[in-house]
Amino acid sequence: EEEYNALTCVQLRAICKQRGLVQKGVKKVIVDRLMKDDKASTPAAAPTPTQAVHSSPQKEDNEEEDIGIILGSPTKVLSSSSAVKTPVKSPAPAASASSSIDNNDQEFQDETHTCHLFEGRSKYLSPSGLHFIANHQYRPSEYTHLDNLLNPFWTYLTECLPLWLAPNMVTTLGGMHCALAYGVMWYYCPDFDTTPPDWVVMLAGYCAFAYYTLDCMDGKQARRTGSSSPLGQLFDHGFDCICTLFFVATFSSYLEIGGTHWYNMLQTSLQFAFFMAQWEEYHTLVLPHNAGKWCGVTEVNYASALGAMCVSLIDREAFFQKSMEDTLAPLGLTGGVVKDMELRHFLLCGWGGMSLILMGLSLQRTLCHPRIAGDDMDASEIRFNRINALSKLASPFLLCVAAFIVPPEFIRTRYLSVVLGCALSLLTKKMIVFSMAKMPYAIIQTDIIPFIFAAIWIRYDTRLTKEGGDFVLGALSIWYAYRLLRWVNVAINQICAKLGIYCFRLKKRDD
């Protein structure tokens, strides 16, 4: 307080103009000083504090800028894209104007940097969250060379779509490809311990290709039909989240790793890495989808599709289950310390290592971002922001740990996969939506509690039979599928009502 009181009105005005002046926490003494300076310089028409707050030039919605004077609570920081666009009112007395600022901020304030231990009333979208969603602008990271190369191809395919087709239907068609392949794979390889027929693996490869291609077309269809909306991001990333189960099932089926902790490692690393990408966007406002110009989600998805098609043509069991010594022998190498390891396990170790690198890069970008560790923040504020950001990883991390508590040989791997996949997908969807809504993401998500208790029960209750363990996980599968669908349904209905649109139709709502 002393530091800001020492600033001159000119300095305060410069800061306001440069940073947009986050309204929350602006103390009356500063507002009064700004008004006094306005009256002294322009006695003919003194602007209100609301005008002073919005005196900086309006920035485009797609520009990224971390703005805000931090006064009072160090956790209230707004970005330019999320600043409330309050209409300029006629001059009013200082007292009433000051109170109107507080009222506006109480209604619409960025809460991404606040710390909540439990969810409380934030399970669904608040009026403030719906306001920010309505003004949300998606900011991806840079594109890779393959993205730029394939962009004309995606554009051409989009132009072949009928103009009456809603963008969310394009996204749903892609998700239906994953659902089809997942269902067929479940029938022929229920617990990832037997190799599926060749045509099933080929189908999975085609569906992976079709899914990602349609995923790249939905945004272009939205711009083509003039129906872009924040709901599209929820649909797009929401389907990406649940479709990770399809990719896990495909890899696990032809690697035959069911009933082992190798499966747990594959699923937890993939879904936790996906959650961390959304966690990074929650704090930095930018969604990462690549690691440089040569490696990104496009390369990974198309490589997965191509890989599935290729392995459908070979003897997968003989190829993936041979030792590294036999694999490297044609190259004149002995294999060294990994010579006795099977090729499938070696590949999974490589995947795990790559996942750890990606997670580490996400941590580094987030914890060093100006919104978390800005140059104008003191050490205690930076420490609080970093601890607060890391604490939001607690719930998905505990879910992943619980998956390793369950003895894999004691239960059906498919049931564990569905429970863990739906639970992590639910947490990730909440992170996606709360990032758009600028709502607080609680440290302890109550949805993790049933699975953690079930994992401990199955692990340590010696009286529980294998059939009993399967029944518990089967019941939890139904519960988490219901919770996921229920939460998504409520969120979509809230967003559609706020934006005045339909989910699968281009026509505007009358209500």
The answer to whether 186 and 249 have CB atoms below 8 angstroms apart is: yes
Alpha helices in 54-117 (DSSP H): 94-107
Catalytic residue among 237, 289, 345, 369: 237
Specify the 3-state DSSP secondary structure of 341.
coil
The partner residues of 342 in beta bridges, in order of sequence, read 323
* C-beta contacts of 487-495 below 8 A and 24+ residues apart: 487/123, 487/124, 487/426, 487/429, 487/430, 488/238, 488/429, 490/124, 491/124, 491/125, 491/234, 491/429, 491/433, 492/231, 492/234, 494/124, 494/125, 494/130, 495/125, 495/130, 495/133, 495/230, 495/231, 495/234
The answer to whether 237 is a known catalytic residue is yes
Alpha carbon distance 211, 206 (integer Å): 8
Tokens representing residue 408 in the block: 């894999």
Concatenate the DSSP letters of all residues of 454-485 into one string.
Answer: HHHHHHH-TT--HHHHHHHHHHHHHHHHHHHH
User: How many C-beta atoms surround the C-beta of residue 36 within 10 A?
Assistant: 13
Contact 70, 76 (CB under 8 A): yes
As given in the structure block, the two tokens for residue 14 are 């410069």
Which residue is listed with tokens 């602008």? 137
Question: Which of these, 31, 51, 36, 22, lies nearest to 98 by C-alpha position?
Answer: 31
What is the amino acid identity at position 305?
A
DSSP percent split of the chain into helix, strand, coil, nearest 5 = 65, 0, 30
Tokens linked to 134 = 């309505």
Q: What are the catalytic residues?
A: 237
